[in-house]
Amino acid sequence: MTAHFGKFVAYYRVSTDKQGQSGLGLDAQRQAVMTYLNGGPWKLIAEFTEVETGKRADRPELQKALAACRKHKGKLIIAKLDRLSRNLAFIATLMDSNVEFIAADNPHANRLTVHILAAVAEHERAAISERTTAALAAASSSVVPASPQPGKRPSRSVARPPMRSPPTSAPSSRKSKRAESAASVELPAP
Give per-residue pLDDT as tens, 109-160. 888 888 888 888 888 878 888 898 999 888 888 765 555 555 555 554 445 5
For every residue of 61-79, DSSP letters joined together read HHHHHHHHHHHHT-EEEES
In the DSSP assignment, the letter for residue 47 is: E
- Where b means 16+ CB within 10 Å and e means fewer, 169-179 reads eeeeeeeeeee
pTM over 0.75: no
| 24-79 residue pLDDT tens | 688 899 999 999 888 777 889 999 999 877 677 788 999 999 999 999 999 999 99
How confident is the model over 58-73, as pLDDT tens digits? 889 999 999 999 999 9
Q: Report the distance separating Cα 4 and Cα 44, nearest Å.
A: 11
Topology classification of domain 6-131: Rossmann fold (3.40.50)
Domain ranges of the chain: 6-131
